[in-house]
Chains A and B, each alone.
Chain A
Amino acid sequence: MNAPSFDYAALAPMLIVFVAALLAVLVEAFAPRARRFVSQVVLATVGIAGALFAVIYLATQDKAVTTAGGAVAIDGPALFLQGTILVLALLAVLTMADEDPESGAFTAQASAVPGSSDEAKAVRAGLVQTEVYPLILFSLVGMLLFPAANDLLTMFIALEVLSLPLYLLCGLARRRRLLSQEASLKYFLLGAFSSAFFLFGAALLYGFAGSVRLSDIDAAVSDGATATAATAVVGQDGLLLLGVGLLAVGLLFKVGAFPFQSWTPDVYQGAPTPVTGFMAACTKVAAFGALLRIAYVALPGVRWDWQPAIWLVAALTMLIGSVIAIVQADVKRMLAYSSIAHAGFILVGLLAMDRDGIGSVLFYLAAYGFTTVGAFALVTLVRTSTPEGGIGGEATHLSQWQGLAKRSPLLAFTFTLFLLAFAGIPLTSGFTGKFAVFSAAVDQAPWGPGLVLVGVAASAIAVFFYIRVIVLMYFNDSVGDAVTVTRPGALTIFAVGVGVVATIGLGVLPAAALQLANSSSVFLP
Chain B
Amino acid sequence: MDFPWLTVIGAVPLAGSALIAALPKALAPRARHLALGVSLITFVLTLVMAAQFELTRAGEIQFSEIHSWIGEFGVSYALGVNGIGLVMVALSTVLVPLCVLAAWNEIEPDRARLFFGLVLVLEAMMIGVFAARDLFLFYVFFEAMLIPVYFLIGAFGSSERRRYTAVKFLVYSLVGGLIMLVGVIGLYGSGPGGEQGFLIDNLTGLDFSSSTAERLMFVAFFIAFAIKAPMWPVHTWLPDATDEAPAGVSVLLVGVLDKVGTFGMLTLCLPLFPEASKWAAPVILALALVSVLYGALLAIGQTDLNRLIAYTSISHFGFIVLGIFAMTSTGQTGSTLYMVNHGFSTAALFLVAGMLIKRRGSADIDDYGGLQRSTPVLAAGFLLAGLSSLALPGMSSFVSEFMVLTGTFVKYPAVAVLATLGIVLAALYILLTYQRMFTGPIKEYAAGWKDASAREVWVIAPLVVVILFLGVYPKPVLDVINPAIATTMQQVGVTDPEPTVAEGENK
Contact = CB atoms under 8 A, between A and B. Distances in A.
A427 interface: yes
Contacts of B139: 426
Contacts of A463: 170-171, 174
Given A420-B147, A471-B163, A475-B155, A511 B185 contact: no
B498 interface: no
Given A438-B185, A511-B71, A518-B72, A426 B170 contact: no
B376 to A, nearest CB: 39
Contact of A475 (B70, B163, B178): B163
A420 B182 CA distance: 19
B225 to A, nearest CB: 17
Contacts of A474: 151, 154-155
Q: Which of B139, B170, B181 has the most CB of A within 10 A?
A: B181
A463 B173 CA distance: 11
A452 B184 CA distance: 12
Interface in B163-208: 163, 166-167, 170-171, 174-175, 178-179, 181-182, 185-186, 188-189
Contact of B182 (A425, A427, A456, A509): A456
Contacts of B151: 474
Interface in B67-82: 68-73
B147 A514 contact: no
A456 B184 CA distance: 12
Given A449-B186, A456-B182, A511 B70 contact: yes
A349 interface: no
A427 B166 contact: no
B73 A435 contact: yes
Given A436-B73, A474-B154, A511-B71, A442 B189 contact: yes
A443 B68 CA distance: 23
A501 interface: no
Interface in A262-284: none
Contacts of B186: 442, 449
A338 interface: no
Contacts of B167: 464, 467-468, 471
A425 B147 contact: yes
A431 B181 CA distance: 11
Query: Which label, helix, strand, loop or mixed, suits the secondary structure of the A interface?
Result: helix
Determine the interface band of chain A, counting residues with CB < 8 A from chain B.
20 to 34
Contact of A511 (B68, B181, B182): B68
Contacts of A435: 73, 181, 185
Interface centre among B151, B162, B182 (most CB of A within 10 A): B182
A449 B69 CA distance: 26
A439 interface: yes
A514 B170 contact: no
B68 to A, nearest CB: 7
B144 interface: yes
A459 interface: yes
A490 interface: no
Contacts of B144: 425-427
B140 interface: yes
**Most chain A Cβ neighbours within 10 Å, of B71, B175, B188:** B175
B171 A467 contact: yes
Given A460-B174, A514-B70, 18 more contacts: A359-B72, A420-B147, A426-B139, A427-B140, A439-B185, A439-B188, A442-B186, A443-B189, A449-B186, A460-B175, A467-B167, A467-B171, A471-B167, A474-B151, A475-B154, A475-B162, A510-B72, A511-B70
Interface of B: 68-73, 139-141, 143-144, 147, 150-151, 154-155, 162-163, 166-167, 170-171, 174-175, 178-179, 181-182, 185-186, 188-189
Counting from the closest, the 8 A-B pairs by CB-CB distance are A514-B72, A426-B140, A426-B143, A456-B178, A475-B154, A460-B175, A475-B163, A443-B189
15 contacts: A426-B144, A435-B73, A436-B73, A449-B182, A453-B182, A456-B178, A467-B150, A467-B167, A467-B170, A471-B154, A471-B166, A474-B151, A474-B154, A514-B70, A515-B72
Interface of A: 359, 420, 425-427, 431-432, 435-436, 438-439, 442-443, 449, 452-453, 456-457, 459-460, 463-464, 467-468, 471, 474-476, 509-511, 514-515, 518
